[in-house]
Amino acid sequence: MSPGDPVDVAPQPDPPDQPDQPDQAEPEEQAELLTLADGLPEITETEAGLAEVCRRLAEGTGPVAIDAERASGYRYSNRAYLIQLRRDGSGTALIDPIAFSSMAPLQEVLAGTEWILHAATQDLPCLNEIGLHPDALFDTELAGRLLGYPRVGLATLVETLLGFRMKKEHSAADWSTRPLPPSWLEYAALDVEVLVELRDRLAAELEESGKAEWARQEFDHLRGFVAPVRHEAWRRTSGVHRVRGRRALGAVRALWQARDEIASQRDVTPGRIVPDSALVAAAVAQPADRGALLATKGFHGRGAERYSSRWIEALNEAATLEEEDLPARSPRGDGPPVPRAWAEKDPVAGRRLAWAREAMARLSELHQVPQENLLTPDTLRRVLWEPPATRDAGDLLDRVVDRLGDLGARSWQVALTAPLLTTAILEAEREPEPTPGPTPEPMPEDQGVADSAGSNGDEGSESGGSDVGTSSTGTS
C-alpha cells in the first residue's frame, strides 16, 4: 500500500462525554519560511558562465558566503558536486564544479575576501581539493559555539537570530545526480541566502561579549585545516566489538580493506557494497567457500554475491597470517591511555585529570564556551599524562604554556587553561587529606577506646576527585 492509498476504517462509536478540559495553550506561531529574494539562478556549467559569475563577484562588496554540497552516503570521494556563493551586490551563484577542469578564475576573484562558511571543517577539504583556498574566513557554527548557543546548526541559528525557518528536505540528497532537480538547487541556494546577515549578527555578539579576538584566532587556525587520516580505520567497523580473537579481527581487517579498495575504484560509499554487519558476520563465521559465505546469516548487500570471490580471498589471507602479523586486540595509539585507566595506571595522574576536569567544567560555565572549544580533550590529556618535570610554579607554568602551543592550542586557549593545568599538576602531587569519619561514642567499659578509634578516611580519600572527573562532560 502506498502512502497515498485510501484506508478503510470501521466506523467508531461516539466517544463518551468528557468533563470540561482547561483551555489548551495556543501552539507557537511558526517562523516565516525563508525564500530566495532574487529567485533561483541558473546553474553555472560553462566557461562563459563562470566568467560572468566571477565578474559579478568582483563587482560585489564585503565577505562572500560559500557552501558546498557533497554526496556523502553515496560516493566514496569527498568531492564537491555543487558550490553556492552569495555576496552583497553580486547575488547568488550556483556552480557545478564537475563541469570544469579548473576553478582558478574563481580562486582569483575571491583572493583577499573573507569567506563565510558554516561548519568549515566539512567544506574546506572538498573546496581545497579543487583549488579554492580562503585568505580569511568566518565560521558561523564555530562563532555560535564560542557564544554559548546550545544548538548551532545553520537552520537553528537562522531561526533564532534572524527569525526565518529553513527547508530541510534535501539535506541527505545524492548531489552527484545529474541533472540536479530545481527543488534541490533552491534548497542549496537557501543555504547562502542569509549567511552574510547571520555572520554580521554573530560578529556583533562576539564583539559585545569580548570574544572577537578568540574567534579571529580560531578562524585563522581553521584556514590550515586538513582532514585527519584515521589510523587503523577498519577498527571503526560497526559491531567489531563483538568479534573475539585476533584471527577474527584479522578477517575483519582483510574484508574491510577489500571493500575499501572496491569502493574507491567504483567511487561508491563502502556501506552500499556490503554493510559493516556483513563484514562482522563473515569474520565470525569464517566460511570456507562461496556457498558457505552466501549462506552466512547477516552477509548481504549489493556486492555480497558480485564480489564473493574477493571476500573469500580476503578471508583466506587472514586465515594464513602469521601470529605476529595479526592485529592487536586494542588499537595502538601514541597518546595517553583512556581516562578510566588513569587512576589504576598512575594514581597521581588520575588526580591531575580529576582536578583539571572539575576546573575545566567551571571555566566552561564561566565563559559559556563548550569545554572542547576551550581545549581539545586530546591536548588536555597529553599535557596531564606526561607533565613537565619541574615543580617550580613559575617554571612549570612556562613549560605548560610551551607544551600547549606545541600541541596547537591558540593563544587565547593557552591564556585561559595554562594556569588551570599548572595548578592541577601541583595539587595532584600533594598527599590527599584523609577524610575524618564520625567519632564513635566512648565505650562504657573502656573510655580509652575513643582515643584509639581510627577513622575510615583513607578508604574514600580519592573518591571525590573520581566522581568529579566522571561527571564532567565534554572533556575526557
- d(CA 368, CA 437) in angstroms, rounded, equals 38
The DSSP output letter for 241 is: G
For residue 460, pLDDT beyond 60: no
Cell 587472514 -> residue: 318
Which pLDDT belongs to residue 26? 54
How far is the CA of 154 from the CAs of 186, 195, 280, 371, in angstroms?
16, 9, 37, 21
Which pLDDT belongs to residue 471? 34
Return the CATH class of domain 32-222. alpha beta
The CATH topology of domain 339-436+459-471 is DNA polymerase; domain 1 (1.10.150)
For residue 19, pLDDT beyond 80: no
Domains of the chain: which residue ranges? 32-222, 233-325, 339-436+459-471
Are 233-325 and 339-436+459-471 the same fold in CATH? yes
Return the CATH class of domain 233-325. mainly alpha
Weakest mean pLDDT among 111-125, 301-315, 321-335, 374-388: 321-335
What does the pLDDT look like over 194-246, one tens digit per residue?
999 999 999 999 999 999 999 999 999 999 999 888 889 999 999 999 999 99
Contact 262, 273 (CB under 8 A): yes
The overall average pLDDT reported for the chain is 88
Mean pLDDT, rounded, for 263-289: 96
Which pLDDT belongs to residue 458? 38
For residue 431, pLDDT beyond 70: no
Cell 589510523 -> residue: 231
Contact 148, 369 (CB under 8 A): yes
